[in-house]
Chain A
Amino acid sequence: MPSNDLFTYSIALADDALILGQRLTEWVSNAPTLEEELALANVALDHIGRARMFYGHAGQLVDDGRSEDDLAFGRDCREFTNLLINELPRGDFAFTMVRQFFVDAFNVPFLTALIQSSEPTLAAIGAKAVKESTYHLRRSRDWMLRLGDGSAESHSRTQRAIDELWGYTPELFEAFAAEDRLAEAGLAPDRGALKSQWRNTVDATFAEATLRCPTAAWSVRGGRGGVHTEHLGHLLAQMQYLQRTYPGQQW
């Protein structure tokens, strides 16, 4: 049933955006410069805004009375379907920017393709979000250059971050069953087909930044099935605590 598939799909995209947004908010009052405080907060706000749009859409699809907040604060860890790369702790600034770069380099072609969806709300969200992600990618790509080709310390921290994150990137290109059905029906992009464009962006950027793509064969996945890293539980425990402690209230 397309409606259930669309629901599952929207929730997955919402979870991706919310969990990444939540990680970005952890930089508030911790950024390396005031200018970066503002810049990182903007990226976080964009992702949180995107999450709200996808949750809102999902809520309307099933019409079971659940709001964006019910979906964000009322589901437990095993019901979250974000990709694992989004839930990893923020690490140092190099780790955050490498993760952001990997996600941005995916989001730009993904959202560009989402605009072609025959589902009008998804297409509209894609159109709005691609402008944001285009700017995000410009920023994160520039940071790859500065960090990779800056100081010896920045180079080694960044290379370490790349090596730690690499195995989480294959999941970006793996569709789940509902997503495959939607793609066939022209409602969702073909995620796997985006890999070569992503790889081109990454390779070109890393080459210019004097950084190295790892050749290691390990990979971790499971987010779409609710099988997460141990990090997500702690993130949700913090994020959901008020709603769990005072259930059913207005805020």
Chain B
Amino acid sequence: MTTEAMPLFEVFIRSKRGLDHRHVGSLHAQDHRQALEYARDTYTRRGEGVSIWVVASSDIVASQESDSASFYDPLDDKPYRHATFYKLPDAVDNM
């Protein structure tokens, strides 16, 4: 009996009121078309989504935790990118 080599797909759903597709989980399917159908059957039973993306898991490239020192740290010392850095007089502090 051959066992599966059915590819794994990651599922992303955007809800009616949402702006982004959120990762909700994964499933096995034969191809993208079937993955969409299974995603619809598994992840939208409570009206959670209006838009489904399926991506083959093998296509997802992730940053590595070990890279975090050089990848992320330099961003911590640039507070001037955040609005809270800027103190304005009360009269005009509504922007």
| Interface set of A (CB-CB < 8 Å, partner B) | 33, 35, 38-39, 42, 135, 138-139, 142, 146
Contacts and interface: CB of A to CB of B under 8 A. Distances in A.
Contacts of A146: 30
A35 B41 contact: yes
A39 B45 contact: no
Main secondary structure of the interface of B (DSSP, over half): helix
B34 A38 contact: no
B7 to A, nearest CB: 12
A39 B30 contact: no
Interface in B14-38: 27-30, 33-34, 37-38
Interface centre among A35, A39, A146 (most CB of B within 10 A): A35
B57 interface: no
Interface size classification for chain B = 10 to 19
B33 A142 contact: yes
B28 A39 contact: no
B51 interface: no
Contact of A42 (B30, B33, B34, B45): B45
A42 B41 CA distance: 7
Contacts of A142: 33-34, 37
A35 B42 contact: yes
A35 B28 contact: yes
B38 A38 contact: yes
Nearest to A41: B41
Contact of A33 (B28, B37, B45): B28
B30 A35 contact: no
Interface in B35-90: 37-38, 40-42, 45
Q: Is the interface of A mostly helix, strand, loop or mixed?
A: helix
A12 B87 CA distance: 74
A36 to B, nearest CB: 8
B45 A35 contact: no
Contact of B38 (A39, A135, A138): A39
A49 to B, nearest CB: 13
10 contacts: A35-B38, A38-B41, A38-B42, A39-B38, A42-B41, A42-B45, A135-B40, A139-B37, A142-B33, A142-B34
A135 B37 CA distance: 9
Contacts of A39: 37-38, 41
Given A35-B28, A142-B37, 16 more contacts: A33-B28, A35-B29, A35-B38, A35-B41, A35-B42, A38-B41, A38-B42, A39-B38, A39-B41, A42-B41, A42-B45, A135-B40, A138-B37, A139-B37, A142-B33, A146-B30
A210 to B, nearest CB: 17
Contacts of B28: 33, 35
Nearest to B34: A142
Contacts of B37: 39, 138-139, 142
Contacts of A33: 28
A39 B38 CA distance: 7
A139 B37 CA distance: 8
B25 to A, nearest CB: 12
